[in-house]
Structure 1
Amino acid sequence: MSSDVRRADGVRGVGRTVGTPHASGGRRLARMSDFWPAVYALIPSVGVGILFYFAMRAIIRADRNERLAMAELDAQADQAEARARASEDS
């Protein structure tokens, strides 16, 4: 909502109004000074999200590597079993 409003300090300005009316009866303007505290408030959440991403990526990669290693071991065991059967048959 844009409007021509008078700030609490009496200066007129045009901008987006936010919040509830102040005791002076006017609404306050959304300023850049309101932007950085909001960004700072989001930093911990973003940091936790990044840590979660890397933790999940490490878990998924470890699982994939473990499955590949187990498949190799199973293939080696199958080959050894096949050789043992072939030597018994001869």
Structure 2
Amino acid sequence: SRNVVYVGMLGPRKKRDRMLQELTEKGTWFTQQQLAVLHSPIGLDIGAETPEEIALSVIAEIKAVLSGKHGSPLATNNTVVIHSRAVVKM
């Protein structure tokens, strides 16, 4: 068993739903855990239009997921330390 935490799919939700339906009809079943890591459409909502902006939104979402974050603006996060301070031993 692999510990996959992120699977991303480009394209609209309708395309994702159609692909999952077709796979199910062909006998491929997905667990709730597998579906929970599927991010589609992929990326954070930053108003991306160009390929470069879309790439940035995808990378930002992947980083957020791997860090256990939601990708919310730092300006609205008043109660949590942004960067943890590790104790350096010499």
The TM tier, using the shorter chain, reads under 0.3
Which structure has the larger Rg over C-alpha atoms?
Answer: 1
User: More strand by proportion, 1 or 2?
Assistant: 1
With structure 2 as the length reference, what TM-score do the two structures score? 0.21
Higher relative contact order (CA 8 A, sep 6+): 2
Normalized per residue, which structure has more helix? 1
